[in-house]
Amino acid sequence: MKRKTKLWVGSGIFCLLALLISSWYSVTFNGSRLVVPMDFDTYAFQPRDPPMIFSVSIACIYLLGLFFTLFLKGLRSRQSVARSNTTRSLNPRLGFLGLLGFLGFAGFWTYSVNGTIFPFAFFLFFGFFGFYYEGKMSGTFMDERFRENAVQASLKASNITFTILFIALVLLCQGRLMGNPEYTLIGFVITLSLALALRIFLSEYLLYRYDHEELPAEGEE
Amino acid sequence: MAEFECRLKQYRQLKGLSQEQLAAKVGVRRETIIRLEKAQYNPSLKLAIDISRAVDAPIEDIFIFE
């Protein structure tokens, strides 16, 4: 692991530990202040608040720093791809991130507990399975056939996605799903997330298939 | 896509170039040359011109459209 990565992982673990310890401190000695939801309009500083304030502050700084670093890295990677005319280097194992899509099922739990539906959007992470195929095409020289295939794959993926969305919209807009408008909204959020995930995955999968299908044996002729 | 016949393989062999060498010369991947030789890929005008220059043969002799 690179030194910078180690530093980020180490800092992340430190922030997490700081949050856990300060939360424990607040719950044990400070009446759960700043842990349970509270009205900040009437907030008054108390001598036992600093641990929680400190840990939340460093966690926010860490997340902001991580976001900007990843953003800059992505930007640099794009520039490097444009310069070298090859696809970006990616480990196919990143495709396992697609498993995060199962977090979407947490939406059924959060909806039943407090009516929150945003976790259904996590179904979008299923699209990360596309990293597997993108990783398999890492560092591929992008000649005109590759670029044509990429456009073709992207168009086909978009067509399939929009067709699914259109059908889902027509069906869901017929009226209430199981007699409940909220279920209809949930159905739409799930469909939208899954359709977008499919769009992300399919464009990579189809590009890989177009690029590799009917490829002759490795011999010269 | 129009049906076409590609005689790239014979012109390439006449010139004594491997698929890899030709690909490097015209700035494409070897897989693209393989597909061109099997008439599975319709090249752009620029690529067709580059190939014709690389193998020293007229475009209309390499790519024959029905």
| pLDDT computed for residue A218 by the predictor | 46
| Main-chain dihedrals φ then ψ at residue A117, nearest 5 degrees | -115, -5
**Residue A139's closest CA among A90, A92, A95, A86?**
A86
Q: How many CB pairs under 8 A join A and B?
A: 31
- A86 Cβ under 8 Å from any chain B Cβ: no
- A137-171 as b/e: b if 16+ CB within 10 A: beebbbbbbbeebbeebbeebeebbeebbeebeee
B4-65: CATH superfamily: lambda repressor-like DNA-binding domains (1.10.260.40)
| H-run or E-run covering B63 | strand B63-65
Q: How far does the CA of residue A92 sit from the closest CA of chain B (Å)?
A: 22
Q: How far does the CA of residue A147 sit from the closest CA of chain B (Å)?
A: 11
A181 within 8 A of A132, measured Cβ to Cβ:
no
Q: Hey, where are the domains in chain B? A: 4-65
Cβ-defined contact of A145 to B18 (cutoff 8 Å): no
Q: How far does the CA of residue A139 sit from the closest CA of chain B (Å)?
A: 12
| H-run or E-run covering B4 | strand B4-6
What residues of chain A lie within 8 A of the CB of B10, using their CB? none
The string of pLDDT tens digits covering residues A96-112 is: 999 999 999 999 988 88
Interface pTM, i.e. ipTM: 0.84
Point out which residues pair with A103 in neighbouring strands: none
| pLDDT computed for residue A216 by the predictor | 55
Which residues lie closer than 8 Å to A185 by C-beta, 6 or more apart? A117
Q: Cα separation of A115 and B34, whole Å?
A: 57
Token pair recorded at residue B59: 């475009």
Q: Cα separation of A115 and A37, whole Å?
A: 17
A77 against A200, higher pLDDT: A200
**pTM higher than the cut 0.80:** no
Interface of B with A in 3-62 (CB under 8 A): 9, 18-19, 27-29, 31-32, 34-35, 38, 40-41, 43-44, 46-47
Q: Which residue of A has its CA nearest to B10?
A: A221
The string of pLDDT tens digits covering residues A30-72 is: 888 887 777 777 788 888 888 889 999 999 999 999 999 989 9
Token pair recorded at residue A189: 């959020």
A172 against B23, higher pLDDT: B23
For the purposes of burial, counting CB atoms within 10 Å of the CB of A196, is it exposed (0-12), middle (13-18) or buried (19 or more)?
Answer: middle
The string of pLDDT tens digits covering residues A111-136 is: 888 888 889 999 999 999 999 999 99
Which residues lie closer than 8 Å to A91 by C-beta, 6 or more apart? A135, A138
Per-residue pLDDT band at A1 (split at 50, 70, 90) = low
> Considering CB atoms only, which of B34, B44, B47 is closest to A216?
B34
Which residues lie closer than 8 Å to A220 by C-beta, 6 or more apart? B18, B19
Q: What number of CA atoms fall less than 13 Å from residue A13's CA on the CB side?
A: 5
